[in-house]
Amino acid sequence: MSSEFLYQDLSEAIIGAAMKVLNRLRPGLDEKIYENALVIELQRRGHRIEQQRQFSVHYEGEWIGTLIPDLLVDELVIVDPKVVAAFTETHMAQMLGYLNITEMQLALLLNFKRYKLEWKRVVRSALA
């Protein structure tokens, strides 16, 4: 883990892989296309990927549903590929919810909408 920020090397590797995917496929495709290509690229780079892993969600000891993040990379980072005009507070809140349920610390939102990849790091507070 980097002293600068949480999982810096892994974050950079994921973003680099996403840039390669966007450069090869170009903007204008469906999120699932970018997600599947990103899985291939990250696996080729030696990362462990889980796609659509299911997490049970409970309230007061009762099961209330299932949470399914798009990608988990090396069991450390949730990755959510998007094709959106801009990241919103809703996207951020969703990632914080995912981090809380999975007890992971870092999520990356990746936006494949334009020719230049956009990304946002979402870190779960140690107090959460």
Please report whether residue 128 resides in a domain.
no
Please report whether residue 2 resides in a domain.
no
pTM: 0.91
E strand map for the chain: 49-51, 55-59, 62-67, 71-73, 77-82, 106-111, 118-123
What's the confidence (pLDDT) of residue 128? 46
Q: Which helix (H) or strand (E) holds 31?
A: helix 31-44
* Domain total in the chain: 1
For residue 106, the domain's CATH number is 3.40.1350
DSSP 3-state assignment of 120?
Answer: strand
What's the confidence (pLDDT) of residue 127? 55
Q: Which domain holds residue 63?
A: 8-123
SS (H, E, C) 54-75: CEEEEECCEEEEEECCCEEECC
Does residue 27 contact residue 114 with C-beta atoms inside 8 Å? yes
Written as tens digits, the pLDDT of the chain (128 aa) is: 434 588 999 999 999 999 999 999 999 999 999 999 999 999 999 999 999 999 999 999 999 999 999 999 999 999 999 999 999 999 999 999 999 999 999 999 999 999 999 999 999 876 54
